[in-house]
Amino acid sequence: MSNDVGVELEGTTFSVYLFVAKEGKPVGPRDVMRGAHLSSPSVAYRHLQKLEDSGLLKKNEYGEYSLKKKMKVNGYHWIGRHLLPNAMFYFYFFLGLFIAESVVLAIHYAVETYEFKVFFALGLSITGIAMILFLKEGLSLNKKIEKTPVRSQDE
């Protein structure tokens, strides 16, 4: 996973970062331990420190950490506090195209020729297939980011 501050995050550190980003409020090591399924608060603290040192998190006066900077993740976009795969954007584009094509076909169905109907049916099928493929890929990438490997041992 790459970002604009030159830090590579993977494994548990990336899981901790995602947890803090999705919480949207300051969290302590015990919150992170429970939320990221870590073995102890000290493991959570170590990963929080690593993220603070990289400039992605900031620590407040109560010892809680909050998001300082959202990192860029290849193949994903941030929508609020959620990370959405790029494939889902393509799915929504093709869904809109599919709806527009369906409306055009419905409006012109009674007055157009057989060739026109066949042409639009072919267009609808191609758009529908693309839409389904991007949806499948987007959901698969979404599951992948939600199930980022989290090890319960100290790394």
Which tens digit of pLDDT belongs to each residue from 10-66? 788 888 888 888 888 899 888 888 888 888 888 888 999 999 888 889 988 888 898
Phi-psi region of 153 (alpha: psi -120 to 50; beta: other; left: phi over 0): beta
Count of beta carbons in the 10 Å neighbourhood of residue 61 = 5
Show the tokens assigned to 100: 């527009």
Is residue 147 classed as helix, strand or coil in its secondary structure? coil
Q: Where is pLDDT greater, at 41 or 153?
A: 41
> Distance (Å, rounded) from C-alpha 98 to C-alpha 94?
6
pLDDT band at 148 (very low <50, low <70, confident <90, very high): low
Q: Where are the alpha helices (DSSP H) in the chain?
A: 11-23, 29-35, 41-53, 86-108, 114-146
Which tens digit of pLDDT belongs to each residue from 51-107? 988 888 998 888 889 888 888 888 888 888 788 899 999 999 999 999 999 998 889
> Distance (Å, rounded) from C-alpha 88 to C-alpha 94?
10
Long-range contacts of 122-129 (CB under 8 A, 24+ apart): 124/98, 127/94, 127/97, 127/98, 127/101, 128/98
- Residue where the block lists tokens 């839409």: 131
**The pLDDT value given to residue 147:** 65
- Going by C-alpha positions, the residue among 83, 14, 96, 82 that lies closest to residue 47 is 14
Show the tokens assigned to 37: 């399924």
Q: How many CA atoms lie within 13 A of 86 on its CB side?
A: 5
